[in-house]
Amino acid sequence: MYSEKVMDHFQNPRNVGEIENASGIGTVGNAKCGDIMRIYLDIDENGVIRDCKFKTFGCGAAVATSSMATELVKGKSIEEAMKVTNKAVMEALDGLPPVKVHCSLLAEEAIHAALWDYAKKHGIEIKGLEQPKTDIHEGEEDEEEY
């Protein structure tokens, strides 16, 4: 049911964790299953994503897609990172079963939410980036403690 790449990223997820003093943090919930994803971005002064980490309460497919998504945005410019859609991530993983496609949206949305957070902090506008609807970062800092 799952490709070898999905299994690999699920069993050995890359870039799990937090970034202290991250340039941008995005937390989103999946409307379909209620799972949660948080992405941390470290962006340098030239707008290049130096580092990217994630934490999730999502399923295996969410773990695998986030692992791949973080790998894909690392070292990229913000403009390039905007092109890392859930479709691009799924392609990089050799596909996902149709019932799991919604899981791959978490990573994309969380990256966008983290970029939005970064843009807001720096007073800049990122072309094509819309305010995340599902960003639940504010006021729910510690939801993982419960």
Supply the residues annotated as catalytic.
33, 103
If one asks whether residue 67 binds ligand FES (CB under 6 A), the answer comes out as: no
Cβ distance to ligand FES smaller for residue 13 or 58: 58
Cβ distance to ligand FES smaller for residue 47 or 95: 95
If one asks whether residue 101 binds ligand FES (CB under 6 A), the answer comes out as: no
Q: What is d(CA 67, CA 52) in angstroms, rounded to the nearest whole number? A: 10
73 within 8 A of 52, measured Cβ to Cβ: yes
- Give the x/- contact pattern for ligand FES in 5-44, rule: CB under 6 A: -------------------------x--x-x---------
Q: Burial level of 44, CB count in 10 A (0-12/13-18/19+)?
A: exposed
If one asks whether residue 78 binds ligand FES (CB under 6 A), the answer comes out as: no
Q: What is d(CA 35, CA 141) in angstroms, rounded to the nearest whole number? A: 16
Q: CB-based contacts of 94: which residues, under 8 Å, 6+ apart?
A: 3, 4, 5, 6
Residues in contact with ligand FES by the rule CB under 6 A:
30, 33, 35, 58-59, 61-62, 103, 106
